[in-house]
Chains A and B, each alone.
Chain A
């Protein structure tokens, strides 16, 4: 990119991609904003004109709003704790030399390739079903009453399903990070008198901090918008209505596009708040 000429040529050639991407993002965003200021009821009269901030006020003042925020944060937080925690453990485990390492690694990655809807259905019908599920059989084998997972421990069940899906991702990223740890550093700390747990705490974990940051950031972005897992399991009942699911209900079940769009704008704001928050806490790990 040395000369003025080649720079402008480069800009010209990148333009189509930039314009396409901008359009791809801007059109839905602008349409959401547009509808959020309208009363738009597709089955009850269609476009009924501008309403100002009415939709925004109604969405927040609804009794379902704060519980949905709470449910969203609990699911995201729970899944993050489980995936990062077990991801680190699994990563260390898979890094040990063992027989059939290649096959085991592929098996561990496998859940990531299962579609969310499918995995949620499998969990719902094969594991968590209170009469025929595997877990119910297990409980009965030990003489306990089967847990009705999806209604009695609904949030935990969904966290479990989502964690199962995202654990492979965390494991994969963390495994590669563990593999990049310099063996001489571990040996040096061994010579320096650090036993296994201290080696983990002072050497391995700091080395993983950057990878953990990346896992947390990426997972948060995707977990904030989980939807299929809730639709096919609880359908938003038993306190599992997240913000995303609430918006879905407003738009499709109540047929109120305006109200749903206002919720969408809140979701964008929430995602950004969480993102800024995370960046400030963990983002400094990315600078070093």
Chain B
């Protein structure tokens, strides 16, 4: 259970059209990530699915049932908010119990589910504390616990990791992925971080200005971005988009080449440039290279042992099979 279909859904706030007509199918058990720059409408889309905002026109179906007019509580979805939205005056136990209490579930069943959720989320020792006494990661887990106990047909996550520090974020990312494998429930996850999208998703939905730019698996999006926007958004560091002379050599408007698909040499190569900043990460070196026409700076991802310094002259050779070609309208050509 957990099939969600959006048909011609639109949303306007007053005169501002936030989401033009949009179709999207989310399959049962799929981990779907909405990703895009801030203000692209991904959170709005999630809130439309949750029922926290009314759609202006169109149709939302959940498990084959028309849910367009259903109130949020009746849609069988659970949401984890960016601020966690825990109830500060209730203990962790009462927070987790709240949705079950509202549903009128009997006490014994409530207790059983709380214990199970607390055990799964490592919260057993904290059940009687207030949210204010917990760390960010623990609060996040309580919010997830509150969602789990309802046994929803789908989970909605609204940028759940953006308030955590980097180390914790990586840990929670794994925990959520792990939870998805275990529960095999549909999950919709909103983020602006393409690394989260790539690592967690079964299906990524790339949004810009309310429009779906591309839908696909992480590797599909990485290998065959449908247009320049997706090409630039997915992958880190960003794909180099080169216009002008070098692109016309391939007789297209723009070519794209990922930093990891460029070979660097200090003696010979197709393009010549000057090293700007070189970021040594140990495992990799990100070299920013100036002097390549049509793309300044050009980023190259080289091995950790490459020894180049600011001002050095280097030669670059793009790997021919990894060159992406885009037309003047920004769309992929092949």
Q: Interface on A for B, CB 8 Å cutoff?
A: 182, 184-185, 187-195, 198, 202-203, 206-207, 209, 288
Closest 8 interchain pairs by CB? Answer: A193-B73, A188-B85, A192-B99, A184-B85, A193-B102, A206-B89, A184-B81, A185-B85
- Which A residues touch B90, using CB under 8 A? 206
Q: Which chain B residue lies CB-closest to A206?
A: B89
How far, in angstroms, from A185 to B131 measured CA to CA in the complex?
13
B82 touches A192 (CB 8 A): no
Contact of B85 among A187, A207, A209, A288 (CB under 8 A): A187
A187 touches B81 (CB 8 A): yes
How far, in angstroms, from A194 to B85 measured CA to CA in the complex?
14
Q: Interface on B for A, CB 8 Å cutoff?
A: 50, 52, 71-73, 77-79, 81-83, 85-90, 98-99, 102-103, 130, 146, 150
Known contacts A184-B83, A187-B52, A187-B81; decide if A192 and B89 are in contact (CB<8 Å).
Answer: no
Contact of A185 among B72, B79, B87 (CB under 8 A): B87
12 inter-chain pairs at a CB distance below 8 angstroms, sorted by A residue, are A184-B81, A184-B85, A185-B85, A187-B79, A188-B81, A188-B85, A189-B87, A190-B71, A191-B73, A192-B73, A192-B102, A288-B130
- Which B residues touch A189, using CB under 8 A? 87, 98, 102
A198 touches B102 (CB 8 A): yes
- Which A residues touch B86, using CB under 8 A? 185, 188
User: How many pairs, one residue from A and one from B, have CB atoms within 8 Å of each other in the complex?
Assistant: 61
Q: Which chain A residue lies CB-closest to B104?
A: A193
Known contacts A198-B102, A202-B98; decide if A190 and B85 are in contact (CB<8 Å).
Answer: no
B102 touches A190 (CB 8 A): no
- Which A residues touch B79, using CB under 8 A? 187-188, 191
- Which A residues touch B73, using CB under 8 A? 190-195
How far, in angstroms, from A198 to B101 measured CA to CA in the complex?
11
Q: Which chain A residue lies CB-closest to B50?
A: A191
CB A68 to nearest CB in B, in angstroms, measures: 39
B81 touches A192 (CB 8 A): no
How far, in angstroms, from A187 to B98 measured CA to CA in the complex?
13
B99 touches A190 (CB 8 A): no
Q: Which chain B residue lies CB-closest to A194?
A: B102
- Which B residues touch A209, using CB under 8 A? 89
- Which B residues touch A187, using CB under 8 A? 52, 72, 79, 81, 85
Q: Which chain A residue lies CB-closest to B83?
A: A184
How far, in angstroms, from A207 to B48 measured CA to CA in the complex?
27
Contact of B89 among A188, A193, A195, A207 (CB under 8 A): A207
- Which B residues touch A206, using CB under 8 A? 87, 89-90
B72 touches A191 (CB 8 A): yes
A203 touches B87 (CB 8 A): yes
- Which B residues touch A185, using CB under 8 A? 85-87
How far, in angstroms, from A7 to B113 measured CA to CA in the complex?
57
Q: Which chain B residue lies CB-closest to A198?
A: B102
How far, in angstroms, from A185 to B98 measured CA to CA in the complex?
12
How far, in angstroms, from A188 to B130 measured CA to CA in the complex?
17
How far, in angstroms, from A266 to B87 measured CA to CA in the complex?
44
Contact of A192 among B52, B88, B98 (CB under 8 A): B98
Known contacts A182-B83, A184-B83; decide if A191 and B89 are in contact (CB<8 Å).
Answer: no
Most chain A CB neighbours (cut-off 10 Å) among B50, B72, B82: B72
- Which B residues touch A193, using CB under 8 A? 73, 99, 102-103
- Which A residues touch B102, using CB under 8 A? 189, 192-194, 198
Q: Which chain A residue lies CB-closest to B71?
A: A190
How far, in angstroms, from A207 to B86 measured CA to CA in the complex?
12
How far, in angstroms, from A182 to B90 measured CA to CA in the complex?
15
How far, in angstroms, from A288 to B146 measured CA to CA in the complex?
23
Known contacts A185-B85, A185-B87; decide if A190 and B98 are in contact (CB<8 Å).
Answer: no
A191 touches B98 (CB 8 A): no
- Which A residues touch B50, using CB under 8 A? 191
- Which A residues touch B81, using CB under 8 A? 184, 187-188
- Which A residues touch B82, using CB under 8 A? 184
- Which A residues touch B77, using CB under 8 A? 191
CB A202 to nearest CB in B, in angstroms, measures: 7
How far, in angstroms, from A187 to B130 measured CA to CA in the complex?
20
A191 touches B78 (CB 8 A): yes
- Which B residues touch A195, using CB under 8 A? 73
- Which A residues touch B72, using CB under 8 A? 187, 190-191
- Which A residues touch B103, using CB under 8 A? 193
B87 touches A191 (CB 8 A): no
How far, in angstroms, from A191 to B149 measured CA to CA in the complex?
13
CB B299 to nearest CB in A, in angstroms, measures: 37
Given A187-B81, A192-B73, A206-B87, list of 5 further CB < 8 A pairs?
A187-B52, A187-B79, A188-B85, A191-B52, A288-B89
- Which B residues touch A203, using CB under 8 A? 87
- Which A residues touch B71, using CB under 8 A? 190
How far, in angstroms, from A202 to B150 measured CA to CA in the complex?
18
How far, in angstroms, from A203 to B79 measured CA to CA in the complex?
17
CB B106 to nearest CB in A, in angstroms, measures: 16
- Which A residues touch B99, using CB under 8 A? 191-193
